Amino acid sequence: MTRDRDIERVLDGWFADGPTSMPDRFFDGVLDRVDRTAQRRLAGLTTRLLPMNTNVRLAAAIAATLAIGLAAAIYVGSSKPIPTPRSSPSPSPTASFEPLSQVLQHRWNGPTRPVTGMTPPALSAAVTLDRTRMRFDGGGSPRSDLSSSASLSGPNEIRFDLLGDGAGCGRGAIGTYTFALSPGGGFLTLTPETDACAARSQAVSGDWERSDCSNPNSWCLGDSIEAGDHASAVFNPFLTFDAWTFQYGRLAYTVPNGWGNPEEDRAEYVIARTDLGEDASIWLLSDETAHVQSPGCSENTIDASVGRKPDDLASWLQSRPGLAATKPQAVTVGGLSGVTLDVSVAPDWTRACPGDARPAVELFADSDAKEHDVRALGDTPMRIFLLDLGDGRSLIMFINAKDKATYNALLPEATSIINSFRFTR
């Protein structure tokens, strides 16, 4: 399979002012050190008491009395009285805030939710957390993303301080939330304790799924995901590429340990083994149709003479030169009906595409985005599912492997995952 993707998104950077005053805890520490530092002693000075006679002692006493009287006169005549010491109030204790822990520092995907005061209205929903920041992605532009400083303010508690005015909230608005992570760290729940910004509470409260995609512009979940139930974010097979809108959770599924979601866009979703990646994977493509055959294996060239419904594509595959295909069997996956069949390159087919010595047969091409080609290669089988989307198109799914041995080992677990698929229109 080949692809050519060019997705770019402008990412906003956020900056905070540096410190402008000495922290109370540092100032108190300096004073504490002064109080505890012993007075310096002059090491070379010694004193000795000598015996005195009575007259000498009397003269000394008179001299001392005169000296005290003179000092008193000087003091009374002074125009600058000695100020009376005043006790300053003790500083109130301040809360201890820490940067967010590494397990929280991810993008977190969730379903769209209404956010009061956000203009234009939120079209999508994701929360991005780093060491000291939170940003809400509601899609569209321009909009307030409710950017806030973020810190740990207690056990399982996050504090957000709004960095600027927006969505009806003022700079500095404080919110505190308890958080709970799933055992594998793949799911996060944020529960508000109090928040002076109602829009932020609406935006970030609830359940989120970690997006750890190697492509920072993608919503995919990443190469390794927690065992259990998962949902797509932007993949929406029920709308054509040009008519696409964000609708979270159009696909839901269940995986065991050892799987990931390395690719996702509006017309593509990939579920792959963590250890092998796309060399052992399940593909879902909603914008594919028949690929024209050409000696040079031209890329992204559709055959418009072939219909896009499941029966049309299945019949075309069976008649494809160089392709061995089984008889299509009726199937239902996640509520969508269609057919399934196994294909591989015919043993006597020798034509290869440039850059690959293995015999190849071109199968499907991307009709709009021009991003994906699907080919059968060598002796590696492919199991293909053609599911009716109800608008003249098919959702094309297939199990892909790098070689025959990998395919045979992959097939049982991949089939179990496909059987868990749930589609929502």
- The answer to whether residues 192 and 334 belong to one domain is no
- The answer to whether residues 275 and 414 belong to one domain is yes
Q: Which amino acid is at 388?
A: D
Mean pLDDT in residue range 288-296? 86
Q: Where are the alpha helices (DSSP H) in 231-359?
A: 310-318
- The answer to whether residues 181 and 295 belong to one domain is no
- Looking at 211, 237, 259, the residue that finishes a domain is 211
Cα separation, 323 vs 321, whole angstroms:
6
- The per-residue pLDDT for 156 is 96
Write out pLDDT tens, residues 338-362. Answer: 999 999 999 999 999 888 899 999 9
- The per-residue pLDDT for 49 is 30
Q: Quick one: tokens of 299?
A: 């890329």
- The answer to whether residues 346 and 414 belong to one domain is yes
Write out pLDDT tens, residues 158-195. Answer: 999 999 999 999 999 999 999 999 999 999 999 999 99
- The answer to whether residues 116 and 207 belong to one domain is yes
Mean pLDDT in residue range 315-337? 97
Residue range(s) defining the domain that contains residue 408? 268-423
Lowest mean pLDDT among 3-7, 10-14, 93-97, 319-323: 10-14
Please give the C-alpha separations between residue 241 and each of 95, 138, 244, 265, 372, in angstroms, as whole numbers: 50, 20, 5, 10, 13
Please indicate, yes or no, if residue 139 is contained in any of the structural domains.
Answer: yes
First CA to last CA across the chain, in angstroms? 28
Please indicate, yes or no, if residue 77 is contained in any of the structural domains.
Answer: no
Which of 52-61, 123-132, 290-299 reaches the highest mean pLDDT?
123-132
- The answer to whether residues 184 and 306 belong to one domain is no
- The answer to whether residues 283 and 148 belong to one domain is no
Mean pLDDT in residue range 122-128? 95
- The per-residue pLDDT for 225 is 98
- Looking at 165, 180, 211, the residue that finishes a domain is 211
Please indicate, yes or no, if residue 108 is contained in any of the structural domains.
Answer: yes
Please indicate, yes or no, if residue 162 is contained in any of the structural domains.
Answer: yes
CATH of residue 146: 2.40.128
Please give the C-alpha separations between residue 154 and each of 94, 98, 127, in angstroms, as whole numbers: 13, 9, 20
Please give the C-alpha separations between residue 303 and each of 285, 318, 360, in angstroms, as whole numbers: 17, 16, 17
Residue with tokens 């692809």: 3
Q: Looking at the predicted structure, is the pLDDT value of residue 68 above 50?
A: no
User: What is the count of structural domains for the chain?
Assistant: 2
User: Can the peptide bond before residue 120 be classed as cis, meaning omega within 30 degrees of 0?
Assistant: yes
CATH of residue 320: 3.40.1000
- The answer to whether residues 125 and 201 belong to one domain is yes
Q: Quick one: tokens of 66?
A: 């005169």
- The answer to whether residues 272 and 345 belong to one domain is yes
- Return mean pLDDT, the chain: 82
- The answer to whether residues 371 and 281 belong to one domain is yes
- The answer to whether residues 181 and 306 belong to one domain is no
Q: Where are the alpha helices (DSSP H) in 171-278?
A: 198-204
Write out pLDDT tens, residues 22-31. Answer: 333 333 333 3
Please indicate, yes or no, if residue 331 is contained in any of the structural domains.
Answer: yes
Please indicate, yes or no, if residue 63 is contained in any of the structural domains.
Answer: no
Name beta bridge partners: 188.
Answer: 181, 208
Mean pLDDT in residue range 415-421? 98
Please indicate, yes or no, if residue 363 is contained in any of the structural domains.
Answer: yes
- The per-residue pLDDT for 20 is 36
Please indicate, yes or no, if residue 345 is contained in any of the structural domains.
Answer: yes
Name the pTM for this structure: 0.77
- The answer to whether residues 289 and 197 belong to one domain is no
